[in-house]
Amino acid sequence: MKELLTREINAIDGLRMWDVDVMPLHFHSEKAPTTSIYRKLSEKGWLMLGLVHPEALTIPLDPAFTENQAGQLITDIRDVTEDLIAHPEAAGGDIRYA
């Protein structure tokens, strides 16, 4: 699962997975605000965790996470990121927890 997510997220324009040895996986955006990706994924129903400094998203996975779910997550990450790059006025959000 780590290899699949790392390969597919790194293939999305502007996103970079952190090089870590073990789970959890973290990524950040070089082109769209990471906080906005966090907000939009949350709006789609994904439970995402975030880091404030440096800004990054954490993908919380458990053993029941399937390849189909991974595929949907990758699609949603790609769609959200591409939309934010194309429409920067849609940016906004806060990665901190209330």
On whether residue 35 sits in a domain, the answer given is: yes
Structurally, the chain folds into a number of domains equal to: 1
Is residue 96 included in any domain, yes or no? no
Residue 86 maps to a domain? yes
Q: Which domain holds residue 8?
A: 2-90
Q: What is the pLDDT of residue 42?
A: 92
| Burial environment of residue 43 by CB neighbours within 10 A (0 to 12, 13 to 18, 19 or more) | exposed
Domain at 64, CATH number: 3.90.1150.10
How many of the other CB atoms lie within 10 Å of CB of 97? Answer: 7
In a domain, 95, yes or no: no
3-state secondary structure at position 51: strand
Token pair 């390849």 is found at 67
Q: What is the pLDDT of residues 36-84, one digit of tens each?
A: 999 999 999 999 898 888 889 999 888 788 999 999 999 999 999 999 9
Residues 71-90: tens digit of each pLDDT = 999 999 999 999 999 998 88
Q: Is 50 in contact with 96 (CB distance < 8 Å)?
A: yes
Residue 27: CB atoms within 10 Å: 21
98 domain-assigned: no
